[in-house]
Structure 1
Amino acid sequence: MIVEDILYGSFEVEEVLAVLISSQEVQRLKDVHMAGPAFLINPSWNETRYEHSIGVMLLVKKLGGTVEEQIAGLLHDVSHTAFSHVIDLVLSNKADDYHEQIKKEFIEQSTIPELLEQYGFDYQQILFDDEQWRLLEQKAPLLCCDRIDYTLREVHRYFSVPLQEIHDFLKAIKIMNDQIVLESVAWAVWFVDQYQKVVLDFFYDPRNICSYEWMAKAIQLGLSNGEITMTDLLLTDAPFLQKLRSTRSTEINFLLAKIQNPPKYSVCSSEDEYDIEQKKKIRFVDPLVRLSDEIVSVSAISKSAQLKIDRVLEESQKGIYIKYD
């Protein structure tokens, strides 16, 4: 099977990966948006968990990862609920990891174990400890295929970063001591810049924030009045949204209407009267760089990188406050 991706190009993948890609569990991710309900406010914010999952799998392959690690990459987000991380706001889950909390149960009730066993793979060994896969996952602020893929995908789509620039960055990646290392300070600072765009200019875009706030409140109302259940969240975006819209709650439908036709709003400070306050999970990167025979964090050798990282941390800790005009 040939798999094509806008960032990485065309790759022939092993049969087990082709079968998994065709499974209902992976195909389901075509209707689970990365930015949650934000696409309802801005239709161009339409990246899906499917695109990201394929991308992570291919990046792992491109960087020399085993078939097992490619499988883990393809399935790392398979248990995401409708509208992705909106459920974490519903549950006030600051770790943003509800999909990880339900991953084991989701997989064991799916077709995935049987599919993997047909090809001689142990699903428990591969899928229940992503930290064993050093390309796929690394604790922040290090780089990993998951973090790299969504960053590159979003800055290309939403900030018009050219593909050639992205391809040149990918050429600067080296694997050293099971870690992703960049060949130059310049490329490390470049990636810090791109990640800053994703965190501050995209995640904290007021339209993104408002869509999450209103959808989370609609879901909370639906759960509290019994018109939706946590199981309903395992639907994909379109049928789950339809289920919300079909409720008898005027409050839910009012909130959904606000997402489709948002009122005028402005960003304010915590000292003002505000209608929405959000502080998202703290996210930043500090890539490793190769200097002669030494590997160091870019912040240790670049004042520019350190200032950029400090800004992301400061703005993230401050959060965002929005008031309706």
Structure 2
Amino acid sequence: MRIGDVLYGHFEVEEVLEQLILSNEVQRLKDVHMAGPAYLQNPLWNETRYEHSVGVMLLIRKLGGTLEEQIAGLLHDVSHTAFSHVIDLALENESDDYHEKIKADLVEHSELPKLLQAYGFDYEQILFDDQKWTLLEQEAPRLCCDRIDYTLREVHRYFDVPLYEIKQFIEDIQIDDGQITLRSIDWAVWFIDQYYKVVIDFFYDPRNICSYEWMAQIIRIGLAEDMITMMDLMGTDTAFIEKIRRIDSEVIQSLIKRMEAPASYVVCKKEDNYDIYQKKKTRIVDPVLIRDKQLVPASTVSEKARSKVEQLRSDSEQGIYLKLI
């Protein structure tokens, strides 16, 4: 199977990857949006978990990762519910990891174990501890393929960052003992800037915040009043929308109308009479470089990098207050 990606180019992949890509579990992700219900406010915000998952797999491949790690990358988000992280807001799960908590159970009750076993792979060894795959996952603020892919993908699509810059950044990556490092402090600073656009300018865009708030309210009300079940959230975004449209509830139907109309708001302060406050998971990056054969964070090499990392941390921890008008 030959597969292509706008960021990384074209690759011929092994049969096991082909079959995993064609599986119902991965195909479902074509209708699970990365930004949750935000595409209802802005149809251009339409990146899916499928695009991201395939992208992570290909980036791992491009950086020399094993076939097992590519499999882990392809399937790392397979347990995301409809509308991605909106479930975390609905359940007040501040760690944003509901999909990780249910991953083992979802995998065990899917066709993935049988498929992987048919090709001689131990699904438990590959899928149940992403932290063992050092290209795929790293604790913040280090870089990993998961963090890199959604950043590059979203700044290219939503902020018009040109492909030539993205490709030059990828060329600056080097792998040291399984760790993603950068050669140049300039590209480290560049990536911090791109990450800021995603985490602050995009994730905290008021339209994004409003859509999350209203869908989270729908989920809370629906679950509390037995109008929906958690199994409804294990389908696609489209299927879930169709489900809630049929619910005989004025409150839920009013919230759906809000999500589908342009949000009217003003950004305000804590002391103001605000309607919505959201504080997302704190996300920062501080890319690692090699200096004198040592791995050192960019923030210790460059004052500009240090200042940008601290600004990212501060703005990420602040959250946002909105007054609806």
TM over 0.5: yes
Rounded Cα–Cα distance in structure 1 between residues aligned with 2:253 and 2:311? 38
**Structure 1 residue 263: deviation in Å?**
4.2
2:298 partner amino acid: V
Unaligned 5+ segments in structure 1 are: none
Secondary structure at 1:135 match in 2 = coil
CA distance 1:263–1:287, shift in 2 (3 Å): closer
1:126 to 2:126 alignment: yes
Q: Which residue of 1 aligns with 2:289?
A: 289
2:210–2:263 Cα contact (<8 Å) kept: no
Amino acid at match of 1:243: K
1:59 aligns with 2:62: no
Contact 1:156–1:162 at 8 Å: present in 2 too? yes
Q: Secondary structure at the match of 2:156?
A: helix
- Mean alpha-carbon deviation: is it higher for 53-62 or for 258-267? 258-267
Q: C-alpha distance in 2, partners of 1:119/1:23?
A: 14
Rounded Cα–Cα distance in structure 2 between residues aligned with 1:292 and 1:161: 32
Aligned residue number for residue 162 of structure 2? 162
Counterpart CA distance in 1 for 2:324 and 2:108 is 45
Q: Which residue of 2 aligns with 1:211?
A: 211
The CA distance in 2 between the partners of 1:315 and 1:125, in whole Å, is 38
Partner residue, 1:316? 316
Q: In structure 2, what is the equivalent of residue 22 of structure 1?
A: 22
Counterpart in the other structure of 1:144: 144
**What are the within-5 Å matches in structure 2 for residues 88-99 of structure 1?**
88-99=88-99
Give the whole-Å Cα distance in 2 for the aligned partners of 1:61 and 1:137: 14
Matches of 1:46 and 1:89, distance apart in 2: 20
- Structure-1 separation of matches of 2:248 and 2:306: 51
CA distance in 2, matches of 1:263, 1:79: 30
Counterpart AA for 1:204: Y
Q: Is the partner of 1:210 in helix, strand or coil?
A: helix
Residue 318 of structure 1: how far off its partner (Å):
1.4
* Secondary structure of the structure 2 residue equivalent to 1:285: coil
The Cα shift of 1:246 comes to 0.6
Q: For 1:301 and 1:126, how far apart are their aligned partners in 2?
A: 36
- Distance of 2:316 and 2:75 partners within structure 1: 29
The AA in structure 1 aligned to 2:27 is: Q
The C-alpha deviation readout for 1:2-30, integer Å capped at 9, x for no partner, is: 01001001001111000000000000000
Give the letter for the 2:175 counterpart.
I
How many pairs does the alignment contain?
325
**Is the Cα contact below 8 Å between 2:41 and 2:263 reproduced in 1?**
no
Contact kept, 8 Å, 1:135 with 1:179, in 2: the verdict is: yes
1:39 matches 2:42:
no
- Given that 1:286 and 1:297 are in contact with CA atoms closer than 8 Å, whether structure 2 keeps it comes out as yes
Deviation at 1:309, TM superposition (A): 1.2
Is the CA contact (8 Å cut-off) linking 1:184 and 1:290 kept in structure 2?
no
Q: Does the CA contact (< 8 Å) of 1:137 and 1:146 recur in 2?
A: yes
> Within the alignment, does 1:49 sit opposite 2:70 as a pair?
no
Matches within 5 A, 1:69-84: 69-84=69-84
Match of 2:135 in 1: 135
Report if the CA contact (8 A) 1:155-1:197 is conserved. Answer: yes
Counterpart in the other structure of 2:180: 180
Q: Structure 1, residues 131-166: CA drift from partner, whole Å, max 9, x if none?
A: 000100000000000000000000000000000100
Secondary structure of 1:289's counterpart equals strand
Q: Distance in 2 between matches of 1:301 and 1:165?
A: 22
Any unmatched runs of 5+ in structure 2?
A: none
Q: How far off is 1:290 after superposition?
A: 2.1
